[in-house]
């Protein structure tokens, strides 16, 4: 089973500096995921001020560039892990060395066998899963 673990936190001040100690702790955590053989992918994300949101109405796409005025929480990064169960994914998330008020949301990635057969047939011939080992 694959799971997405998203780091959610309050938006950082524009002049916030990443602390070396925090990066070192996170690197150790990432190495532990890798050593256990569960890590498929991970990345940190640039802040919402560099993002764009595309919304849709009446078949038309509208682009809004960041920063976004109502942002109370942002996704700062993510891991994709492959484990045996939801409980195992939660255990890995609980070990992450995050600062106060940060949250990790753990969500199972929908696999083709989880979908109804008619949906699977409609998607036949399209392989979209690129997994890094």
Is 64 part of any domain?
Answer: yes
Number of domains in the chain: 1
Q: Residue 52: exposed, middle, or buried by beta-carbon count in 10 A (0-12, 13-18, 19+)?
A: exposed
Residue 39: inside a domain? yes
What range does the domain containing 116 cover?
Answer: 2-13+20-122
Indicate whether 133 belongs to any domain.
Answer: no
Residues 13-37 pLDDT 10s: 555 557 898 889 999 999 999 999 9
Whether 54 maps to a domain, the answer reads yes
pLDDT band of 107, cuts 50, 70, 90: very high
Reported as a single tens digit per residue, the pLDDT across 39-77 is: 999 999 988 889 999 999 999 999 999 888 777 888 989
Q: In CATH, what number is assigned to the domain containing residue 40?
A: 3.30.70.1060
Does any domain span residue 127?
no
């Amino acid at each position: 089973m694959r799971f997405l673990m998203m780091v959610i936190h309050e938006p950082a001040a524009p002049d916030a500096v990443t602390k070396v100690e925090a990066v070192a702790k996170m690197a150790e955590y990432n190495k532990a995921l890798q050593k256990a053989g569960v890590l498929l992918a991970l990345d940190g994300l640039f802040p919402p001020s560099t993002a764009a949101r595309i919304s849709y109405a009446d078949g038309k796409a509208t682009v809004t560039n960041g920063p976004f005025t109502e942002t109370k929480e942002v996704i700062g990064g993510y891991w994709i892990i492959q484990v045996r169960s939801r409980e195992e994914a939660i255990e890995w998330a609980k070990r992450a060395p995050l600062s106060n008020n940060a949250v990790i949301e753990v969500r199972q990635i929908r696999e083709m066998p989880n979908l109804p057969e008619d949906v699977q047939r409609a998607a036949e011939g399209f392989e979209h899963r690129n997994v890094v080992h």
